[in-house]
Structure 1
Amino acid sequence: MRDIEWTLQRLEQDAHATLGELRDPQGNRLCWTLENRWRNNERRVSRIPAGRYRVIFQPVLGGWHARLAARFPAIHHRPIELADVPGRSAILIHPGNFHTDTLGCILPGQIKMRGPDDSLAVGQSGAAYVAIYPRLADLANAGGFIRVRDELSKTHGGTAI
């Protein structure tokens, strides 16, 4: 059986954030994504390196679990995490709209927009989370992966994989 793999395709970045889109194996966009811009993989302020990461349920429950369970009791089981990220841990997919919300994680959104500081942002993040969480949970249960791809030039901190 072939591994199930989604793609997070990074598309553009500005001084603060990176905008991308999350796609299923058939190439359908599931949501927009927002991450920090590249800052040498520094914890809590940088996006993660491009690569292929296993999707798991967060093994150690922290504050995000309580927040998400309270906000989305009908769907939330455990936070979704990308595992085996070099030099990093606890890379979650969770709601948020602006680069100040990412903390090095990945934010889903239904629309792309600009934040109060005119940086890249996503909107309707809670609705996007509700829409993709059940599929992310299925992906985690199936032992699936997300391949993070950069189409950004190296001068902007990207590497193509």
Structure 2
Amino acid sequence: MIKIIRVAQGKNSTLSHLYIHGLFACYLLEDSIRKEKIPGLTCIPEGEYGLSLNHGAGMNARYGVKYPHMHAGMIEITEIPNYRLVFIHIGNYHTQTAGCPLTGSYWQRLDGDYQVMHSAAAYHYVYPLLLDQIERGNDRVVVKNGFYACCTPAGPPSLR
């Protein structure tokens, strides 16, 4: 089972954990949780969704060049009402999400918002794991708001 568990909210950002078969895989950064969807500025609603490989989106060509030895298509979260082309991809700041989850090896908080850092390293780690799950037919992801005290001001757990 693949899960995205939201653990903290910033002013304009949401920090999550990605779990694959109950094991922490990486941090994810999304936009804020909003009652009304604002295109490109709203995170994925809670629920269960599909995962698939998208071979046609513009990001696919860029990632194919950037990761030629592992890229088999963009990992897309599908079946989201009023959303499409929601990809798990690289980025550090909520301004780079456009409604998509960004991968991160660790996080920090600055001016009331979360950031994920070493995004490319986290993506390089988690992409093959997710690809393997999709190929095995484990192509569902559960998204839950599970806010709890996972993170202390002293600093985050790290994948470094």
For the Cα contact (< 8 Å) 1:41–1:49, is it kept in 2?
no
Task: Name stretches of at least 5 consecutive residues in structure 2 with no aligned partner.
Answer: 149-160
Which of 32, 50, 60 is residue 37 of structure 1 equivalent to? 32
Residue 56 in 1 paired to residue 52 in 2?
Answer: yes
For the Cα contact (< 8 Å) 1:41–1:48, is it kept in 2?
no
> Structure 2 length as normaliser, TM-score?
0.85
Q: Which residue of 1 aligns with 2:64?
A: 69
Which of 144, 148, 153 is residue 143 of structure 2 equivalent to? 148
Q: Which residue identity does 1:103 align to in structure 2?
A: A
Secondary structure at the aligned position of 1:140 is classed as: helix
Deviation readout 1:90-149 (Å, 9 max, x if unpaired): 11000001001100001111111135x552010011011110111111222233211001
For the Cα contact (< 8 Å) 2:2–2:18, is it kept in 1?
yes
Task: Name stretches of at least 5 consecutive residues in structure 1 with no aligned partner.
Answer: 154-161
**C-alpha separation in 2, matches of 1:75 and 1:114:** 31
Write the mapping of 1:62-141 to structure 2, written as runs, cut at 5 A. 62-115=57-110, 117-141=111-135
Secondary structure at the aligned position of 1:135 is classed as: helix
Report the number of matched residues: 146
Q: Please provide the CA RMSD for this pair.
A: 1.6
Secondary structure at the aligned position of 2:90 is classed as: coil
**C-alpha separation in 2, matches of 1:62 and 1:85:** 17
Deviation readout 1:5-59 (Å, 9 max, x if unpaired): 211000111111000100112x211000100002323221100100111110115
Q: CA deviation at 1:152?
A: 4.2
Q: Which residue of 2 aligns with 1:22?
A: 18
Moved over 3 A (4+): none
Q: Which residue of 1 aligns with 2:158?
A: none
Q: Which residue identity does 2:128 align to in structure 1?
A: P
Secondary structure at the aligned position of 1:120 is classed as: strand
Q: Which residue identity does 2:40 align to in structure 1?
A: R
Secondary structure at the aligned position of 2:84 is classed as: coil
Identity of aligned residues (%): 32
Q: Which residue identity does 1:134 align to in structure 2?
A: P
**C-alpha separation in 2, matches of 1:6 and 1:62:** 23
**C-alpha separation in 2, matches of 1:43 and 1:58:** 20
Which of 3, 7, 28 is residue 3 of structure 2 equivalent to? 7
**C-alpha separation in 1, matches of 2:80 and 2:87:** 11
